[in-house]
A and B are shown apart, each in its own frame.
Chain A
Amino acid sequence: MKYTPIIGLETHVELKTASKMFCGCSAEYFGKAPNSHTCPVCLGLPGALPFPNKTAIDWCVMIALALNCEINKFSKFDRKNYFYPDLSKGYQISQYDLPFGKDGSITVSKQKGSNETKMIRIRRVHMEEDTGKLTHAIVNGEKVSLIDFNRSGVPLVEIVTEPDFENEHQVVEYLQKLQKIVRYLGVSNADMEKGDMRLEPNISLQKEGETELPNYKVEVKNINSFRFVDKAIKFEIIRQTELLEKGERPDQETRGWNETKNATVSQRLKEEANDYRYFPEPDIPPIEFNQTEIDALKNALPELPDEKQERFEEKFNLPSYDAEILTRDKALADYFEEAVKVGNEHNITPKQIANTIINKKTNTEEILPAKLIEMISSESKTEEINPAELNKVISEVVSENPKAVADYKAGKEPILQFLIGQTMRKLGKKADLTVIKSAILEALK
């Protein structure tokens, strides 16, 4: 029997605001001494209260706007109550029924390399706070758990999709696009290794022809790279297909990606939903936006990756392959545009610049755009070669490389490149390649 994968995705993006979500502590925690960025608020000490960070809220709204979301004009924070030692207050401040953004989308290609697209609906974009971090260690021969609250209260944006993904390719492309967008906005480094971006796909399989969603869902955690999300989904599709083929319903559970086993492994069964006893956070008044404020944030959005790619294709007449690479990183795109401007004055085309940047992997951090243009134009200049001199050199090369000549004559055409190279070297000049090539072909006749 055939099955259709039903995949949804929850992504957490950590914002790079100067201070934490609800207090004045520095939000930078990576590599800092444990508990050095803490205060009564993020430690959840008796009497401490949250005071929301306006920049973080604005950035969350900007992400929502960049993802084509509708902004809730009346929004609020809610408490999500649960117990865990890394949660200092016994509840997490999050958003429940009125997230800042809702009903957005990202469009991806249906299959790798296909022109057909698939729209992934985004259900919600909401703001919450990060938790502390537990480390299990042995100190003085005793097994202990250590808590570091530096990360406690760092602003997190959660982006939840509808279960619209049909395969792992769509998930990976969605994630690449999302990562590009938040980096373009300058609101997060979205660095997977540092945990700035955390992914939780949920995967289930639907029998072909059925319309109802499957009656189970497998959530996969601990995925710290796009490559692993690709592998984890592939793995789950196979694992779940095998179970279904045997007539078993896969367990509703949370699984983790195990890098060494190259497999997902069960972490905990989740037959019933947790009761988080959500209720409106009484310490923070509801947050209201008017249209002017929303418009101002909308106007502050930079040109986003998709728009930029499209513009590069049209304005610079680039293939989408080139345009996509050049717009992956905003700094690279800016570099390219700067080089195009200089190139215009020296008859260098955008395509020539794109080729150089992409094929030669130009170090755009060290070579200034003007210097790059200089390099391209000097490379494209050729020197006049005296035909007599050229023929002399070629006959030398032919006689010095009898095996190569024989190979070529036996049909190994690529060997021609070798002979061209040898000729160039002996000439010691930048000659027109086409001239050399035709002279060699003539000599070999």
Chain B
Amino acid sequence: MDTTNLTIESILEGYRSKKFSAVDVVSAYLERIEQHDKDLNSFITVTKAEALKEAAERDSSGDFSLPLAGLPIALKDIFSTKGIKTTAASNVLKDYIASYDATVVTRLKEAGAIILGKLNHDAWAHGSSGENSDFGPTKNPWNTKFTPGGSSSGSAAAVSAGFTPIATATDTGGSIRLPASFTNTVGLKPTYGRVSRYGVISMASSLDSIGHITKTVMDSAIVLNATAGADGLDATLHSEKPDDYTKNIKNGIKGMKFGIPKEFVSEGLSKDVSDVFEKTVEALKSLGAEIVDVSLPNTEYGIATYYIIQPSEVSSNLARYDGIRFGNKRTEFGEEAKRRIMLGTFTLSSGYYDAYYKKAMQVRTLIKNDFEKVFEEVDALIAPVSPTLPWKLDEKNNDPLAMYLSDALTVTANIAGIPSLAVPAGFAQGLPVGIQIMGPQFSEEKLFQIGYAYEQATEYYKQTPNL
């Protein structure tokens, strides 16, 4: 049987009932990668030998009691992995081998997961299309002429193509949700402070959220069970968390009230996306939810605010890559990283700090307040992830500003630190379209409940690309 299109629960069920072994499953994914990834370029490193060895060990132990026992995973190459190259998809770290595991990696391993390899993305997670990778662009499994979205391009493409059931990813301004919506996968950007950033190469520290991409909402909740919670290493983490994110997942959404922020569905939205979104709204209504129009008036300042705060932090975070102790020289930085280092250095400079960084932080508070006010009235917000369908590779490559604007609907969740779950919502012109469900801080449990109800009613996750 084809084990590369199963959910976490069905893989575990197969192991436990001895329908197939961990070696069967890991081999099947590895074969698929070997066969098809040359067309997609989603992996930077495949750890075939280690993965097969671990699978065999798992099989011989016969212990499949762990929540992710024998489950293959792949990691965005920005997650530090002890003994495995961690490149940040940049030539600067082309040959860098981390000496320690990121907290999330440790936790996934402890939950029994087996690492298949490291995934491609925009270098340093700078980008919305995956084209800023120094290892070449990743292609969209639904149509290889198109971008799979970025920066977590490899994570989304790999899950969508059936190379792995789980891929870790990071979302600083939309880098999980945009590629998830472009590839018919589920992407979770958790609340800031939910999942440890320790060991994940920092992009913009106050915005970076550590999440993952999966096929289904249930899978997303199971993975969060393993990754969430304080670790004593990331000082921004919240210590309390629910026991089990899947507990209420099947409770339905009858009687819930959802808001549609009018600023998210304004003139900028393409016809293709708005048609799909209208159907989403109808589907949610038919599941018993009440839909109301709401306003987040400061949304229009989102991109401007984001492009002050983010490069400022980037310029400081990239300072350690001086090539003295590890990595290559600074001349190896790509165009986009250089652009952000310069922007951030400028906005933090004395005399400009007040006009840029400080002002941006003030607007950040306003954007947070917008969300807080709205969440007094609704359970969650529903919106498209991207104003447009996936675009063609090379289309926006020479226009950084156009690229930046593709994050218009995603950055505000990062600015406010709230969680957002991207779920498949259908197709237009043969390309996937996703919606996002945003909730108050630490409301992931509710987002899964909403996402699950919608997903089970629409079943887009059952559609897979032809490779």
Contacts and interface: CB of A to CB of B under 8 A. Distances in A.
Interface of A: 40, 43-52, 79, 81, 83, 85, 88-91, 147, 273, 275, 277-279, 282-285
B350 A49 contact: no
B233 interface: yes
Nearest to A23: B233
B96 interface: yes
Interface stretch (B50-58, B149-157, B311-319, B430-438): B311-319
B50 to A, nearest CB: 21
A90 B198 contact: no
A46 B201 contact: yes
Contacts of A90: 316, 318-320, 322
Given A275-B350, A279-B348, A282-B313, A83 B235 contact: no
Contacts of B197: 47, 49
Contact of B93 (A46, A48, A278, A283): A46
Contact of B98 (A47, A52, A91, A277): A47
27 contacts: A43-B325, A45-B80, A45-B98, A46-B80, A46-B88, A46-B93, A46-B201, A46-B321, A47-B102, A47-B200, A49-B197, A51-B233, A81-B316, A81-B348, A85-B322, A85-B324, A89-B320, A90-B322, A277-B345, A277-B353, A278-B353, A279-B348, A282-B204, A283-B205, A283-B236, A285-B235, A285-B236
Contacts of B316: 79, 81, 90-91, 277, 279
A48 B103 CA distance: 10
Given A49-B233, A51-B234, A89-B319, A279 B99 contact: no
B268 to A, nearest CB: 30
A88 B199 CA distance: 16
B86 interface: yes
Contacts of B99: 40, 45
A283 B199 contact: no
B206 interface: yes
Contact of B199 (A48, A83, A275, A285): A48
Contacts of B100: 40, 45
A345 B312 CA distance: 71
Contacts of B86: 46-47
Interface string B340-378: 000001001110010001000000000000000000000
B160 interface: no
A48 B86 CA distance: 13
Contacts of A275: 349-350
Contacts of A277: 315-316, 345, 348-350, 353
Contacts of B202: 47, 49, 283
Nearest to B199: A47
Interface-central residue, B96, B206, B236, B320, by most chain A CB under 10 Å: B320
B205 A282 contact: yes
A285 B366 CA distance: 19
Interface in B169-205: 197-202, 204-205
Contacts of B349: 275, 277
A83 B96 CA distance: 21
Interface in B90-105: 93, 96, 98-100, 102
Interface string B192-224: 000001111110111000000000000000000
A278 B312 CA distance: 10
Given A45-B99, A279-B313, A279-B357, 4 more contacts: A46-B80, A50-B235, A85-B322, A275-B350
A279 B314 CA distance: 12
- Counting from the closest, the 10 A-B pairs by CB-CB distance are A90-B319, A282-B206, A282-B205, A277-B348, A47-B199, A47-B80, A90-B320, A46-B201, A47-B201, A44-B320
B465 to A, nearest CB: 32
Nearest to A90: B319
B232 interface: yes
A83 B199 CA distance: 23
A49 B235 contact: yes
B205 A279 contact: no
A204 to B, nearest CB: 23
Contacts of B350: 273, 275, 277
A394 B102 CA distance: 90
A298 B399 CA distance: 59
Contacts of A45: 80, 98-100, 326
Nearest to B313: A282
B353 A279 contact: yes
Contacts of B322: 83, 85, 90
A81 B88 contact: no
Given A81-B348, A89-B319, A282-B205, A51 B235 contact: yes
Contacts of A85: 322, 324
Nearest to A24: B232
A420 to B, nearest CB: 73
Nearest to A80: B316
Interface in B229-246: 232-236
A284 B318 CA distance: 18
